Amino acid sequence: MIERLLKSPTDNLFIQFFRYIIAGAFSIVGDFYLLYILTAMFGWSYLTASPVAFLFGMTVNYVISVLWVFKSGKLSNRFAEFGIFALIGLLGMSLNQLCMWFFTDKLHFYYMISKIFALSVVYIVNFTIRKKILFN
């Protein structure tokens, strides 16, 4: 069971979603850490730092998704695949920015708490679209 869950290539939706959660955890750690560093240590606005951190996390997520989460891509050209992955990511980043602004500026949440809500929304949207368009 452990081998099937963590090691073997699979097209099982449950296993892929489980692996995507782990991949997401790595990308979220990078995203949160970079967001905090850019705002707290370098004084960037959270709305400026957030897309930079998001793009970093998206890249981490892509690499892990290609190497481990999904059995294979629907495209044989990795550059085209990453381009589509990135376009979906830009949709996610736009949604992330909207959530960050709404929760921070309108509801007055601490920006790192806003990030939790934003990532929760974006995570589900990105998995669904990426699975449907890019990966088997």
Q: What is the pLDDT of residue 108?
A: 97
Q: Angle 25-88-27 (CA atoms, 0-180°, nearest 5)?
A: 15
Q: Are 92 and 53 in contact (CB under 8 A)?
A: no
Q: Are 97 and 50 in contact (CB under 8 A)?
A: yes
Q: Are 61 and 85 in contact (CB under 8 A)?
A: no
* pLDDT confidence band for 87 (50 / 70 / 90): confident
pTM to 2 decimals?
A: 0.76
DSSP code at position 107: S
| Distance from chain centroid for Cα 83 | 15
